[in-house]
């Protein structure tokens, strides 16, 4: 171990290493809080003056992190935020936690990762550790990040250290948070892995090294591809069961009684969130560059992305059975977030469902206890008062099964309910249909 590695490891061990987190969103803020809670001084970097100001006054805008915790760390001078990327030079470790969306052509858009890396690269000094957490395709750390950091005469693994550690954030998960979710580490060299392990071990309960950044990048994609493919399978099972006149939810519950060889997944109105609808496409894109077609990924994506259309078509058939058309009907969507009990609408299937209903001439409305308003084209949709909206709707469509809802009361008050999540499990009523 050379002098740079020894000095960094000693700083980390003594709690004197300053950590910088680039991006203060769903990944960056919780991670910053954990490092600060472990006694390491943390500076969060973000382009949003609003986020920076909120952190500096001790206010959290992330549901999984309390303002009380942020405020305590700010008061102890362990956590602060800034828009001044010049301060990156003073950090001993810098972790990139920025979004990695898809472009319009479904290709990876690493613009924010590249911009963050360039900001770091312009100030990179000997002895610094840089870690990418943003989800991306295998090879990104070595093929994209390393060249952007190698322009100042420093050598990776000797005078600076580089690793990839995939974020594993599950918003709204009451059991697993940043600290107790195992962390995967893949360094460019053994020394890089050692430095990253030393850092994360201060704030994360379990840290697991792998042989390379590319392996770590592939781990995250396998995790979310596994979920996407299995959800695609069970969504197709729901389509088949509907045609066969079989209750797919009963089938899954019965199959789940098998104590081996089966893991239950559940159908729904489509995939949402920043990870599962997007991450498998990063892998598919990468494999296309190697003249390989990821057929499972593409087929699962095709099935999952078609579910909002299936929901609207199912609603149309159900209304037609009651001698109503979608056009002119008042449709109330319950829940617009991508999963229950969060306030995140990124990639939510509810947005597609609302658009499809509107395109068919329906009078759309929504209620969500966590989303008071939605930007809708050039206007704003506002969450309506729940029970009056339920009573006035021709159809209530349960898209997100928030635990705050009293589903018995909703069914009792509604003219018609389309349940896409089996939220009305155990309620027997003639006005319920399911996907």
Query: What are the two backbone dihedrals, phi and then psi, of residue 91, each rounded to the nearest 5 degrees?
Result: -90, 140
Determine contact, residues 305/296, Cβ cutoff 8 Å: no
**Cα 232 to Cα 226: distance, rounded to the nearest angstrom:** 10
Determine contact, residues 334/365, Cβ cutoff 8 Å: no
CA 330 to chain CA mean position, Å: 31
Name the residue among 240, 250, 185 with its Cα closest to residue 212. 185
Determine contact, residues 217/139, Cβ cutoff 8 Å: yes
C-alpha neighbours within 13 Å on the C-beta side of residue 53: 3
**Cα 91 to Cα 32: distance, rounded to the nearest angstrom:** 13
**Cα 74 to Cα 322: distance, rounded to the nearest angstrom:** 59
For the chain, give me the number of helices (H) and strands (E)?
16, 15
Whether 91 is a known active-site residue: answer no
**Cα 118 to Cα 415: distance, rounded to the nearest angstrom:** 57
Contacts of 34 (CB under 8 A, 6+ apart): 178, 179, 203, 204
Residue holding tokens 């942020």?
70
> Residue 109: helix, strand or coil by DSSP?
coil
**Residue of 97, 192, 241, 275 marked active site:** 275
Reported for 260-265, long-range contacts at CB under 8 A and 24+ positions apart, including other chains, are 263/230, 265/227, 265/230, 265/231, 265/233, 265/234
> Residue 133: helix, strand or coil by DSSP?
coil
Strands 379-382 and 79-82 turn out to be: unpaired
Determine contact, residues 341/400, Cβ cutoff 8 Å: no
Distances (CA, A) of 156 to 5, 66, 130, 189, 395: 11, 37, 10, 8, 60
Active-site positions read: 275
């Amino acid at each position: 171990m050379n002098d740079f590695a020894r000095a960094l490891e000693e700083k980390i061990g003594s709690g004197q290493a300053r950590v910088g987190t680039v991006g203060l969103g769903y990944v960056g803020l919780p991670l910053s809080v954990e490092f600060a809670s472990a006694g390491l001084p943390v500076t969060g970097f973000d382009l949003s003056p609003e986020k920076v100001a909120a952190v500096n006054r001790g206010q959290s805008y992330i549901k999984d992190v309390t303002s009380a915790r942020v405020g305590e760390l700010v008061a102890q001078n362990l956590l602060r935020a800034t828009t001044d990327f010049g301060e990156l030079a003073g950090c001993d470790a810098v972790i990139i936690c920025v979004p990695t969306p898809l472009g319009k052509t479904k290709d990876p858009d690493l613009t924010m990762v590249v911009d963050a890396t360039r900001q770091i690269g312009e100030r990179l000094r000997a002895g610094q550790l840089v870690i990418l957490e943003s989800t991306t395709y295998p090879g990104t750390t070595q093929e994209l990040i390393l060249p952007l950091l190698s322009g100042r005469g420093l050598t990776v693994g000797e005078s600076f250290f580089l690793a990839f550690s995939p974020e594993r954030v599950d918003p709204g998960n009451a059991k697993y948070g940043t600290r107790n979710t195992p962390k995967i580490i893949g360094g460019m060299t053994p020394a890089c892995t050692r430095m990253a392990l030393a850092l994360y071990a201060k704030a994360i309960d379990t840290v697991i090294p792998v042989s390379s950044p590319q392996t770590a990048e592939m781990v995250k994609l396998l995790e979310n591809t596994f979920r996407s493919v299995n959800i695609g399978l069970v969504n197709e099972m729901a389509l088949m069961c509907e045609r066969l006149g079989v209750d797919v939810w009963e089938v899954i519950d019965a199959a789940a009684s098998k104590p081996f060889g089966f893991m239950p997944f559940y159908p729904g109105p489509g995939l949402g969130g920043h990870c599962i609808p997007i991450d498998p496409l990063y892998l598919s894109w990468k494999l296309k560059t190697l003249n390989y077609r990821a057929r499972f990924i593409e087929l699962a994506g095709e099935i999952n992305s078609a579910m909002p259309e299936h929901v609207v078509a199912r609603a149309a058939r159900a209304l037609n059975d009651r001698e109503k058309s979608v056009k002119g009907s008042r449709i109330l969507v319950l829940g617009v977030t991508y999963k229950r009990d969060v306030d995140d609408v990124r990639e939510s299937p509810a947005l597609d469902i609302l658009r499809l209903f509107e395109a068919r001439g329906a009078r759309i409305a929504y209620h969500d206890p966590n989303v008071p308003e939605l930007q809708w084209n050039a206007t704003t949709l506002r969450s309506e008062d729940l029970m009056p909206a339920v009573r006035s709707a021709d159809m209530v469509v349960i898209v997100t099964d928030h635990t705050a809802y009293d589903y018995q009361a909703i069914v009792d008050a509604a003219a018609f309910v389309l349940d896409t999540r089996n939220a009305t499990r155990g309620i027997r009523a003639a006005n319920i249909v399911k996907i």
